[in-house]
Amino acid sequence: MLFGATGYTGGRTAEALVGRGVRPVLAGRDAARLAALGERLGCPTATADVTDVASVGGLVGPDDVLVTTVGPFARLGGAALAAAVSAGATYLDSTGEPPFVREVFELQGPAAERSGARLLTAFGHDYVPGVLAGALALREAGERAARVDVGYFLSGRGRWFSRGTVTSLIGIAGSPGHTLRHGAVRTENAGARLRTYEVDGRPRPGVSIGGVEQFALPRLQPGLRTVDVHLGWFGALSSAVHATSRLPAPPAPLLGVLGVLAGRLPRDPSAEALAGCRSHVVAEVFDDYGTLLARTCLTAPDPYALTADLLAWGAARALSHGVTGTGALDPVGAFGLDTLREGAASAGLTSP
């Protein structure tokens, strides 16, 4: 079951699923648009409201895999998540929003364990590459590992972002983020930390954000004390973004105006910009004394292609082989490190 197929990321995900031999049920409110898409892709369709728990729940059972790309997830994602938990289904989404990620792990995870549901949030460019890179670096580093830093960077020029990405970024502006300190996930403003990584032979700054890594990597290495994730999309403006983390949250009217302006952007990114875009993910592992123990670098095509292919691989794998565990899962725990590495490589995420 796929929600969001009439949007940009969801449409690419539908095509990726079909490319892997899966014919998902395309679900949503616009029956006419779904019917046209379903006819083109050879997929069945169903009418449902992704923001209504009963509507989604009427379509999903315990043996089903529910994939949703409908965001912003803080505003639109709760009902599908709750329906999957209630049904005991397998759930994947494309969110990159730290507050939603934390909700899945800390609030919905325990309920999912009780119902037998399997939750895989942020199963795309955000944050599968960082979890995979961190897990590979931890395997190399061994038992001395105490800290992991993960950085996400893009190379290329032009308007590579979609309207939905901008809307999600505005939606989480001023929202509390999270990090892992002293072995526990703690609240921290996005952008509170700034550090530089070497990426493709040159220094690139990044500002801190909350991701899946803060929940996933300590499961692989219980001795981890610190996990930081950094976003390097802002280039020379990273220092300014870091400075604004100390300011009060933007007022709601300002966010509302920004949301209206974002709604006027083109839905789709520039195809030319995406063709020249590459994603770079770096994971570095340190011991208690700050000594670098291991470093893993992964690269991929544009983030939307990677998200679509990762969601398609994860859903197809869950359908054919199931996943390990219940509750809020991480990609390594759900599929195993070597299997995840192979699946990610099939989606274009590889070592340079």
Opening angle at CA 182, ends 181 and 187, nearest 5 = 35
The mean pLDDT of 256-281, rounded to a whole number, is: 67
Q: What percent of the chain has pLDDT over 70?
A: 87
pLDDT digit string, tens, across residues 150-182: 999 988 765 556 666 655 555 555 667 899 999
Quote the tokens at residue 124: 């795309």
pLDDT of residue 259: 53
pLDDT, tens digit, 9 for 90 and up, residues 230-241: 998 778 777 877
Q: Identify which of 325, 281, 24, 249 has the alpha carbon closest to the alpha carbon of residue 136.
A: 281
Q: Which pLDDT value is given to residue 258?
A: 47
Please report the pLDDT score of residue 233 as a whole number: 79
- Whether 188 contacts 80, CB under 8 Å: no
Q: Which residue intervals of the chain bear CATH 3.40.50.720?
A: 2-124+305-339
- 265 pLDDT above the threshold of 80: no
Read off the pTM.
0.92
- Residue 188 structure tokens: 């921290």
How is domain 128-303 classified at the architecture level of CATH?
2-Layer Sandwich (3.30)
Tokens of 19: 């490319």
**Full DSSP string of 252-319:** HHHHHHHHHHHTTS-SSPPHHHHHT-EEEEEEEEE-TT--EEEEEEEEES-HHHHHHHHHHHHHHHHH
CATH 3.30.360.10 in the chain, residue ranges: 128-303
Cis before 127? omega within 30: yes
Q: State both tokens at 47.
A: 């009418």
CATH architecture for segment(s) 2-124+305-339:
3-Layer(aba) Sandwich (3.40)
